[in-house]
Amino acid sequence: MSKDFIDDKKLEDILAQVKPTEEKIETIINKSLNKERLSLEETATLLQADKPEWIERIFKGAEELKNKVYGDRIVLFAPLYVGNKCINNCEYCGFKASNTEIDRCTLTIKELQAEVKAMEKKGQKRSILVYGESPDYDADFIAKTVQAVYDTREDKGEIRRVNINAAPLDVEGYKKLKEVGIGTYQIFQETYHHETYQRVHHSGPKRDFKWRVTGLDRAMEAGIDDVGIGVLFGLYDWKYEVMGLLEHTIHLEEKYNVGPHTISFPRLKEASNVSIDDKYFVNDEELKRIIAILRLAVPYTGLILTAREDAKLRREAIKLGVSQIDAGTKIEINGYSDDDDEQDINREQFVIGDSRSLDDVIYELLSDGYIPSFCTACYRLGRTGEHFMEFAIPGFIKRYCGPNALLTFKEYLEDYASEKTKDVGEKLIQEKLAEIEDEKTKEKIEAKLEEIENEKRDLY
Ligand code: SAM
Ligand code: SF4
């Protein structure tokens, strides 16, 4: 295989050579708190810091960084599965070509729009479209489905930002998606370990490690600089995989001057016709370490924690640095319009852990003092990398993100919230307003909140 930018031996060697000490850990955490991205060696030092008191220190550092940089907003979104046909045989996935037990289907544009309407009725404003890999799902098809989502509007609202999770494309393909205005293009490498990659990808185009790992380079070349990376934890050693994510980040930074907009860290879940080898199983404590270390290693990226995880773990992990979660999630095809709470393993890619409604998740976030945000202002104003803006521009959160979170949340309270969520939510908005020191800013936000009460929408 020709060389790519992931050198397994280099990453394993760094992990083997570092020797964590209390002092080193302290210096590294302080570097993150100064908003600098960590090096491979520094990240390896945090990964190898196994003593309980060191782990505690890393958790504290990550919490402090999250509060300092991102504050108390959590961005909400929901995935939408467009089609589950697939020509690959990924050992871990229910959609793999060899699985004859699942129903294969692709939403028609009419069905897709019914799904979107059902999501909009619950209050969703941001979605990620998910596709298997099939000649049917080429760039033209993906572009058409994205456009159909943007064109769908329910009474009170619409999906305002569409992200994509699909197979890697060529440069021409990405250009078509740029034209229809996608948000983030996500591709998870699954594992950065070449040997493991070959072992779990039995057949199909996805077997080509290099084509996949350079998939986001081609997106960048096509002008899409808002990209997301990820690892499917449970396939190989988690410490190595975090090093892989960082090496990928460094590669994008060095070559295109911009790192990934988001990092995802799904864990392997039970799926139709999949038997999972638990050799590299990542437990809850390890997942929390992954999140905290990623938070510190790449302070400017958004971290996404999905509903694959259960409600309890999500609640604990959010404070360590997560910036986006999905809520009210349905991953079976036609799942939102069916509105059936039962999960059916033969209709979905894997089994989810948190099947609560959007309103229930929001209620819990509020109880924990977070402001749920449906903000899409950066994307709509042509500013790519919303999390990067928050991170890089002093005062940006105070001036834009905080107020926009309040406004989009107020829309939710007016249009979709249950009584109990509305009660707690209105109180929290008042508390947040009281915290704003600048009188002029406060007045402006109050005026806009009033406009929302008077039926105006989409203010930012
Ligand atoms: N088919 C495209 C691909 O493979 O890149 C995109 C969508 S795939 C449906 C989305 C992601 O789901 C994969 O990248 C993988 O990380 C994750 N996934 C697959 N099987 C899983 C499982 N059993 N448990 C948890 N996540 C899984
Ligand atoms: Fe297909 Fe993606 Fe599932 Fe692999 S992970 S079998 S490519 S849907």
Q: Tell me the pLDDT tens digit for each residue of 249-284.
A: 999 999 999 999 999 999 999 888 888 789 999 999
* Pair 41, 16: CB distance under 8 Å: no
Backbone conformation region of residue 168, classed left if phi is above 0, alpha if psi is from -120 to 50, else beta: beta
Q: How far apart are CA 28 and CA 441, in angstroms?
A: 36
- The residue with tokens 């070509």 is 97
Check residue 403 and give its pLDDT.
86
What percent of the chain has pLDDT above 70? 97
Extract the tokens encoding 269: 């879940």
Which protein residue has the closest C-alpha to ligand 1 atom 11?
188
Model pTM score: 0.96
Distance from Cα 5 to the centre of ligand 1, integer Å: 23
168 Cα nearest atom in ligand 1: 5
Q: How many CB atoms lie within 10 A of CB 375?
A: 26
pLDDT, position 322: 96
User: What is the distance between the alpha carbons of residues 41 and 304, in angstroms, rounded to a whole number?
Assistant: 24
Whole-angstrom Cα distance, residue 460 to residue 458? 7
- DSSP class per residue in 225-290: --EEEEE-BTSS-HHHHHHHHHHHHHHHHHHHS---SEEE-PBP---TT----GGG---HHHHHHH
Tens of pLDDT, residue by residue over 354-386, are 999 999 999 999 999 999 999 998 888 877 777
* pLDDT for residue 172 is more than 90: yes
Say if the ipTM goes beyond 0.95.
yes
For the stretch 118-132, pLDDT in tens is 999 999 999 999 999
Rounded to the nearest integer, the mean pLDDT of the chain is 93
438 or 238, which is more confident: 238
Helix-strand-coil percent breakdown of the chain, rounded to 5?
Answer: 50, 10, 40
Of the candidates 14, 69, 73, 62, the one whose C-alpha atom is nearest the C-alpha of residue 289 is: 62
- Taking only the tens place, the pLDDT of each residue in 34-87 is 999 999 999 999 999 999 999 999 999 999 999 988 889 999 999 999 999 999
pLDDT > 90 fraction of the chain, expressed in percent and rounded: 82
Which ligand approaches the C-alpha of residue 187 most closely? 1
Report the Cα 403 to chain-centroid distance in Å: 22
Which residues does a 6 A CB cutoff place in the pocket of ligand 1? 92-93, 95, 130-133, 165-167, 187-188, 190, 232, 266, 268-269, 271, 274, 308, 349-350
In whole angstroms, what is the distance from residue 156 CA to residue 353 CA? 30
Identify which of 349, 350, 352, 354 to mutate to test ligand 1's pocket (most ligand atoms within 8 A of the CB).
349
Q: Which residues, including other chains, have CB under 8 Å from residue 390's CB and lie 6 or more apart? A: 69, 70, 396, 397, 401
Cα separation of 109 and 148, whole Å?
7
Instruction: Specify burial of residue 156 (Cβ count, 10 A radius: 0-12, 13-18, 19+).
Output: middle
